[in-house]
Amino acid sequence: MSGEIKISEHASDQASRRGLSETTVLDVARAPEQRVAIRPGREIRQSRITLPAGGKLYLVRVVVDTGPQADTVVTVYRTSRIDKYWSG
């Protein structure tokens, strides 16, 4: 994993539409509770987060393309169906 993390325009739009701040997206991308390999060069980084609006617990899933110079967040979403996606 490289040190730099970029957020694609699509991921930024999706985060905004889903009520997720850029800070939240970057926090999950940098220090996720779990990493799930999708294929070589792509993984989902996910963390359980309580969002301020309503105080509900969500799983925030950040899809990241890993690269030698930088990792790029390609999309992001949140779900309340934590059990469906949580490993362990």
- Taking residue 50's Cβ as centre, other Cβ atoms within 10 Å add up to 9
Tell how far CA 26 is from the center of its chain: 8
Give me the pLDDT at residue 6, please: 97
Prediction pTM value: 0.92
Q: What element of type H or E holds 77?
A: strand 70-79
**pLDDT at 42 exceeding the cut of 70:** yes
Cβ atoms 33, 47 nearer than 8 A: yes
- Side chain identity at 21, as an amino acid letter? S
Say which CATH architecture domain 4-85 belongs to: 2-Layer Sandwich (3.30)
What rounded mean pLDDT belongs to the chain?
A: 94
Higher pLDDT, 2 or 74: 74
**pLDDT at 88 exceeding the cut of 80:** no
Mean pLDDT (whole number) for 56-81: 96
How far is residue 38 from each of residues 26, 55, 73, measured CA to CA in Å?
Answer: 19, 30, 14
Q: What are the sequence ranges of the domains in the chain?
A: 4-85
Mean pLDDT (whole number) for 49-66: 92
